[in-house]
Amino acid sequence: MSTWRDEKNQTARARLEKRLSASFPPCVLSHALRQPLIPPTQRRAVESYWRHRPLLADRLARALAARSGQPAEWQWRLGSDKASGLPLSFRMPPAPYRESAFMRGPGHCCLCGQPVFRLGWHRDLWGDGKFNKNATWHAACVVAWQLWTAPTDHLRMLKLRQNRKCAATGRRLLRTAEVDHRVPLFAVWSEHRSRPWPDLLAFWGAPNLQVINKAAHQEKCAEEAAERSRHRKVLLPSKESSVEDLSS
């Protein structure tokens, strides 16, 4: 049997423990030492810890956002220029601290707005009050953003959360099961966009994510499309009448 992995892990563990600080989170160290390939640095250990816990990262990111609160005079808007930081579609989560008008600069997370400390951690475990001026993301917020913008990449974990049962029918999830937003994102934009920003994030996070079988998903999408069409038909006459009033 090849000893390549054992030798690599011995080298990585020695490198990790050599520079290990006394304040390094024990939960992260325990996680790192259980991996098939031990991360050789503290930063990689932190990244691995959160990458394996996207649902925990989601809860933490939303809690940190609630601590920051919604910036004054901010409104959820869409843009066409990436430089402005505005989302290009309502399918992207609103993130005011990524917008140029509300950025807090290096040392603060561009997602939740809270200070970033060493190793991308969200708390000052070292007690020196120093922000990480080279960082603009928490390690946890990176993983949360990935969950919000690409939930299909976390299909396996979302299935396990539901005990492999379809959220729509209660039957066993098939291989073709798909990730779905309980409240569709177009409805979030049309009906809920006036809600406080930290509350909006839950529509992209775990509270609004479910895994359902493909047939159930297609049926749900058809119902949502029909509802959207009815909503447009209701709005169209009112718009036409307002135009006529202006022209008369």
Token pair 């080298």 is found at 11
pTM score = 0.89
**Mean pLDDT of all residues in the chain?**
91
> What distance in Å separates the CA atoms of residue 40 and residue 7, rounded to the nearest whole number?
13
> What distance in Å separates the CA atoms of residue 109 and residue 106, rounded to the nearest whole number?
8
Determine the pLDDT at residue 2.
66
Query: Are the C-beta atoms of residues 173 and 165 closer than 8 Å to each other?
Result: yes
Which of 211, 204, 191, 71 shows the shortest CA–CA distance to 149?
204
* pLDDT over 90, % of the chain: 78
Position 1 confidence tier, pLDDT thresholds 50, 70, 90: very low
Determine the pLDDT at residue 246.
46
Q: What is the per-residue pLDDT across 216-242, written as a single tens digit (0 to 9) for each?
A: 999 999 998 988 888 777 766 654 555
Determine the pLDDT at residue 142.
98
Q: What is the mean pLDDT of residues 184-205?
A: 94
- Strand-pairing partners, residue 108, are 115
> What sign does the CA torsion over 166, 169, 171, 176 have?
negative
Token pair 């919000």 is found at 148
Query: Does the pLDDT at position 53 exceed 60?
Result: yes
Q: What is the per-residue pLDDT across 198-215, written as a single tens digit (0 to 9) for each?
A: 999 999 999 999 999 999
